[in-house]
Chains A and B, each alone.
Chain A
Amino acid sequence: MSDLPRPEALFANIDYTPPKADWMDVPADIKPGRYCYAANPESVKYVGLPNAHKWNPLDEDWGLPENWQEIIFNGLRERLHKFRSFKIFMDICVRCGACADKCHFFIGSGDPKNMPVLRAELLRSVYRGEFTTFGKILGRFAGGRKLTAAVLKEWWYYFFQCSECRRCSVFCPYGIDTAEVTIIGRELLNLLGLNIDWIATPVANCYRTGNHLGIQPHAFFDMIDFFCDDIEDITGIRPEPNFNQKGADILFITPSGDVFADPGTYTCMGYLMLFEYLKREYGLSVTWSTYASEGGNFGFFTSHETMKRLNSKMYMEADRLGVKWILGGECGHMWRVIHQYMDTLNGPDFQSSRMETPVNPITGTVFKNAASTKMVHIAEFTADLIKHGKLNLNKKRNANIHLTWHDSCNPARGMGLLDEPRFVAKSVVEKFTDMPEGTIREQTFCCGGGAGLNAGENDELRMMGGLPRANAVKYVHEKYGVNMLGCVCAIDRAVLPNSMAYWVPEVSVCGLHELVANALVFPGEKERETDLRGEDLPGMEDE
């Protein structure tokens, strides 16, 4: 036998086992691929947020103001007072661990600080150590610690590895919502100018021009016109959408991702076709707005105040145009803000008195659930139309598709929109198979890129976080032949294609109204040869 060292001996002096230590003693190791770039100070300045400065997460010195601890303490004190939920979440966790293995980022990474209980503990430990008598005296023995620069970096690293999806809260016996802790954590970091650019710049753009990409009204109009060209080519029908039309019954607002990024663009074409159909058949009066040209609200990932400011433009525009109610497109956090926060943020007098409890003018259905927000989700609207037999649909056009449904966190867990999208989907496709229990509906897994984390530079983080979702898709793909993943969220439509390309390349991603429009039959339309993506319809393949 040779004297060469054995393979294990070769590796013997390299220890791959990470050191065992209490989490408080393991400082955050900030790794490229897991974080998003620091905010551009110009964007921070634009919306008047404090301490705009240039900094780099990999640098030792983050350029913090001298009194940064004082700023955080004051901010924390103010929020403990203002948000009762936050104060309760700081006090009542019994560390039972029920939430620990429910976060997709922990499930995909095995990094303990991605366990929801520990993520919240990052902030809670400082609250204990600096704000409670018990913690001040007993320190670590009472789970308390001091706020140091290393702790602040750890906050930043891990609060921007939480997509605020609320999956963990479903499992907590006390209803503790770690997303709320993340939200406050990010708000505190914003007091020091420590946002990420993927959030800060869309927020500034949205504040300036009305949408995340900073697209100006004429370009927004142009894009929609471009879709109308495509629709005309495919169906022979040219939609004539209204823009900024005063006196319209309904204002339609969707995330700008639908207007500018594939595959959301096909969903956008779907809205245009649906509205055109309803106008021709039933005289529906809907207008788009080039001012309220963004449903998404990245302010939600920044601070309550920023969220409020970005949300307000939708209602200001509704007031300016004098519409009765707002129809909202397939968006995620737009709905979370509307459903969970808006009424408290704005108070009762914010909306125009001309707005009414939404009524579907075609079916007469009163959307009582939207009595206070005056805003209806398009999946509910379309489900109502289908239920009343108002749409002529031909499922065969979608015969090439075997669909499964991704419950987007915000509409599903945040507002309970579980059955309407499925009802619509099953009305327009022939083959539909749900993913297994525990991965859908209230327990749905996040796409991995929510809450402003869908940047390019953190692809590894998104793939890790997207693994539980993709893994369930892979299962229905392999077992049943599913080839399409549907969803009602623009972030999903931006994040899931990459996740699928990486984990299950045979599956594509679409929005709900893309499928609706493919199935929708206009009176007198020409025979379609392709779907909205320009792909041959079943039976129309070249010989």
Chain B
Amino acid sequence: MELQKFLTDNHKSICAQWTDAIIKTYPEEGAKFFSGSANQFSNPVGHTFRSNIERMFLALARGADASECSTDLDGILRIRAVQGFAPSVALCFLPALKEIVYREVAKANPGGAAADSLHDWNVRIDRLTMLGFDLYMAAREVLWKQKANQLYNRTHKLLERANLLKDEEVAG
């Protein structure tokens, strides 16, 4: 079986399951809303999940490196990073893709040696997961920085006026 073709042919079903792996981490009403309206503006979270998942999957299926998924993965993880999840939950949908694809492949090849052909694929998903950690932490870091700077930004003109700032802080 040619994995690349199989993944591309089945991308609709796989992407739906992959999106569902994210959506099911929300309470029922939230999950219903995110998987409902496709409107980009009234449902930005659901829309981002669906469209970014699909783009990432098609890139991976055609053999692209995980790094090509960076922008789309970042779009999803920026949302996950502010929603109060433990990091493992925020990122759980990434390793889930291995299992989703394994199941689909096994279904199409009962008794076949599906697992072997999946080796490369799984390595790519591992890379994607690692990339996910970096992006998730980067998003969290922005939040921490914003928290630390909040008071500074509010009073910075005042401190500057009173000559209480060091030069580089004023410049920054």
Within 8 A of A (CB), among B130-148: 139, 142-143, 146-148
Contacts of B88 in A (CB 8 A): 14
Within 8 A of B (CB), among A1-32: 1, 6-8, 10-11, 14, 16-18, 20, 26, 31
Q: Is the CB of B84 within 8 A of A107?
A: no
Q: Is the CB of A501 within 8 A of B41?
A: no
Within 8 A of A (CB), among B44-68: 44-45, 48
Contacts of A461 in B (CB 8 A): 82
If A6-B102, A501-B146, A502-B142 touch, does A468 touch B41 (CB 8 Å cutoff)?
yes
Q: Is the CB of A503 within 8 A of B78?
A: yes
Nearest Cβ in chain A — how far from B96, in angstroms? 7
Contacts of A17 in B (CB 8 A): 24-25
A540 to B18, CA, bound (A): 51
Q: Is the CB of B147 within 8 A of A436?
A: no
* A80 at interface, CB cutoff 8 A: no
Contact indicator per residue, chain A 244-269, by CB within 8 Å of chain B (1) or not (0):
00000000000001011110010000
Residues of chain A having any CB pair with chain B under 8 Å:
1, 6-8, 10-11, 14, 16-18, 20, 26, 31, 33-34, 100-101, 106-112, 115, 213, 215, 219, 222-223, 226, 257, 259-262, 265, 436, 438-439, 455-457, 459-461, 463-464, 467-468, 471-472, 475, 494, 497-498, 501-503
Q: Is the CB of B44 within 8 A of A107?
A: yes
Q: Is the CB of B83 within 8 A of A110?
A: yes
Closest to B150 in A: A456
Contacts of A16 in B (CB 8 A): 24-25, 89, 92
Contacts of A497 in B (CB 8 A): 153
Contacts of B98 in A (CB 8 A): 6-8
Closest to A460 in B: B82
A498 to B149, CA, bound (A): 10
Residues of chain B having any CB pair with chain A under 8 Å:
24-31, 33-34, 37, 39-45, 48, 78-79, 82-84, 88-89, 92, 95-96, 98-99, 102, 113, 115-116, 139, 142-143, 146-151, 153-158, 161
If A456-B150, A460-B82, A467-B44 touch, does A7 touch B95 (CB 8 Å cutoff)?
yes
If A219-B158, A471-B44 touch, does A106 touch B33 (CB 8 Å cutoff)?
yes
Nearest Cβ in chain A — how far from B171, in angstroms? 11
A262 to B159, CA, bound (A): 13
Closest to B21 in A: A16
Q: Is the CB of A11 within 8 A of B92?
A: yes
Q: Is the CB of A110 within 8 A of B115?
A: no
Contacts of A109 in B (CB 8 A): 30, 83-84
A262 to B160, CA, bound (A): 12
Q: Is the CB of B40 within 8 A of A1?
A: no
Q: Is the CB of A464 within 8 A of B83?
A: yes
Contacts of A8 in B (CB 8 A): 96, 98-99
Contacts of B48 in A (CB 8 A): 471
Nearest Cβ in chain A — how far from B159, in angstroms? 10
Contacts of A31 in B (CB 8 A): 84
Q: Is the CB of B146 within 8 A of A498?
A: yes
Within the complex, which residue of A257, A262, A502 is in contact with B143, where a contact is CB–CB below 8 Å? A502
Contacts of B154 in A (CB 8 A): 213, 257, 260-261, 494
If A16-B92, A261-B157 touch, does A110 touch B31 (CB 8 Å cutoff)?
yes
Contacts of B148 in A (CB 8 A): 456
15 sample A-B contacts, Cβ–Cβ < 8 Å, listed by A number: A1-B116, A6-B102, A16-B92, A17-B25, A109-B83, A110-B26, A111-B27, A219-B161, A261-B154, A438-B39, A459-B146, A460-B143, A461-B82, A468-B42, A471-B40
Main secondary structure of the interface of A (DSSP, over half): helix
Q: Is the CB of B155 within 8 A of A260?
A: yes
Report, nearest first, the 10 A-B pairs whose CB atoms are least far apart. Answer: A110-B30, A456-B150, A8-B99, A471-B44, A112-B29, A110-B26, A463-B82, A460-B82, A7-B98, A456-B147
Contacts of B92 in A (CB 8 A): 11, 14, 16
Contacts of A7 in B (CB 8 A): 95-96, 98-99, 102
Q: Is the CB of A110 within 8 A of B78?
A: no
Contacts of A18 in B (CB 8 A): 25-28
Closest to A101 in B: B33
Nearest Cβ in chain B — how far from A229, in angstroms? 10
A222 to B158, CA, bound (A): 9
Contacts of B33 in A (CB 8 A): 100-101, 106-107, 110
Contacts of B102 in A (CB 8 A): 6-7
Nearest Cβ in chain A — how far from B116, in angstroms? 7
Count chain A CB atoms within 10 A of each CB in B39, B95, B157, B161 and give the residue with the most.
B157
A501 to B146, CA, bound (A): 9
Q: Is the CB of B42 within 8 A of A438?
A: yes
Closest to A18 in B: B27
A106 to B102, CA, bound (A): 34
Nearest Cβ in chain A — how far from B123, in angstroms? 13
Closest to B36 in A: A101
Q: Is the CB of B156 within 8 A of A111?
A: no
Q: Is the CB of B147 within 8 A of A457?
A: yes
Contacts of A226 in B (CB 8 A): 157, 161
A17 to B24, CA, bound (A): 6
Q: Is the CB of A456 within 8 A of B151?
A: yes
Q: Is the CB of A262 within 8 A of B157?
A: yes
Within the complex, which residue of B34, B44, B78, B143 is in contact with A459, where a contact is CB–CB below 8 Å? B143
Contacts of A456 in B (CB 8 A): 146-151
A106 to B28, CA, bound (A): 13
A111 to B31, CA, bound (A): 9
Q: Is the CB of B27 within 8 A of A112?
A: yes
Closest to B79 in A: A467
Q: Is the CB of B34 within 8 A of A110?
A: yes
Contacts of A460 in B (CB 8 A): 82-84, 143
A464 to B82, CA, bound (A): 6
A457 to B161, CA, bound (A): 26
Q: Is the CB of A223 within 8 A of B161?
A: yes
Contacts of B29 in A (CB 8 A): 100, 110, 112, 115
